Amino acid sequence: MSDFLREVIEGLEANDKYLLSKYFYNSEGDRLFQQIMQLDEYYLSRAEAEILKEQSPQICAHLPKQGFRLAELGAGDGTKTRYLLEAALDAKKEFSYHPIDISSNALEIISTNLNHWLPELEFEPMADEYFSALSRLAQMDDKALCVLFLGSNIGNFRRDNVDVFMSHLHQSLKPRDHLLLGIDLKKDPNKILAAYNDSMGITAAFNFNILRRINDELGGQFDLSKFRHYNNYDPHSGESRSYLLSLETQDIYIEKAGRSFHFDRHEAIHTETSRKYSPRDLQQLAEKHGFKIEQRFSDSQNFYEDQLWIRL
């Protein structure tokens, strides 16, 4: 049984139904995410692009001069990372770049982009989950590692999984290795709500893509018109959560699962969490997991930060 099928069954059998957000990303999901990054309401990518465009030389000044690996978790299309890579090449750093992504489509896009933008860059894409790729890198040699985890991707973990992720990351790194963490900050809740419920319905289409994938790849019989996109935000936990709500009582057959799944009217499938952090939350997270915050870089509106952490 594929991981996708197993995890879909587990999620739809749960009392509070869920589907894992990593399954948004196939070629259609990657295409929709690129559209989301262009939306007026989706301030996150613009804020992070501004930081990297204007402050990459300062970020690079903290990195070793030579012999290190720059590994990016969930690299996407590389539009923002390009600024950092350019600054590192301009500073004559000697390094190799390893974009890691479970979407081989995303890796094809970033490879084409990098060959075009930075032909002199040494890079090796890795189509893998975050930690199996990192442990492969650690086994290669003892070069220093700088891990990039941008796009506020850390916010996509469920609360308990953030700790699992951080301790795993701590184990994968050596003392003095770096982490550049891009994080969306807690802010006006209305600003956040609009980012995940845009007027053109692109975020909704992205959310629905997970059902489309189940239909296409697992023989699911979801009728998308019988669900609706719903998002909320809790300013205490900082969690923005996306759901798909069943508009009626229905049983949905999934061929590869060989069975149907029951939905009550208004029953929700949780599809994505995008957690926002305060600077204090981040300080606590770093301390708890054996990292020191070396430097914080923020955009002109203080919506977002890229923080450079050092593994202790």
Ligand X SMILES: C[S@@+](CC[C@H](N)C(=O)[O-])C[C@H]1O[C@@H](n2cnc3c(N)ncnc32)[C@H](O)[C@@H]1O
Verify binding: residue 153, ligand X, rule CB under 6 A. Answer: yes
Binding residue for ligand X, selected from 18, 33, 43, 291, defined by CB under 6 A: 33
Angle at 143 between CA 141 and CA 149, to 5 degrees: 110
Asked if 289 touches ligand X (CB under 6 A), the answer is no
Report how far residue 153's alpha carbon sits from residue 165's, in angstroms, rounded to the nearest whole number. 12
Instruction: Please state the closest distance from residue 27 (CB atom) to ligand X, in A.
Output: 11
Using CB under 6 A as the binding rule, the residues of this chain from 41 to 70 that contact ligand X are none
Contact region with ligand X (CB under 6 A), list: 150-158, 190-198, 281-289, 298-306: 150-158
Residues between 221 and 260 with contacts to ligand X, criterion CB under 6 A = none
130 in contact with ligand X (CB under 6 A): yes
Strand pairing report for 94-101 and 126-127: parallel
Least spacing, CB of residue 198 vs ligand X, in Å: 15
Radius of gyration of the chain (CA): 20
Q: Quick one: which segment of 135-143, 148-156, 225-233, 275-283 binds ligand X (CB under 6 A)? A: 148-156
Question: Which residues on adjacent β-strands are paired with residue 298?
Answer: 305
Report the alpha-carbon distance of residue 229 to residue 246 in Å, rounded.
Answer: 9
C-alpha–C-alpha distance, residues 211 and 227, integer Å = 10
The stretch among 9-17, 62-70, 88-96, 102-110 that binds ligand X (CB under 6 A) is 102-110
The conformation of residue 106, written as its DSSP 8-state character, comes to H
Q: How many CB atoms lie within 10 A of CB 251?
A: 10
Min separation Cβ 25 and ligand X, Å: 4
**Does residue 304 belong to the site contacting ligand X (CB under 6 A)?**
no
* Structure-derived torsion over alpha carbons of residues 270, 158, 281, 99, reported in degrees to the nearest 10: -110
Residue numbers at the binding site for ligand X (CB under 6 A): 22, 25, 33, 74-76, 80, 100-103, 106, 129-130, 150-151, 153
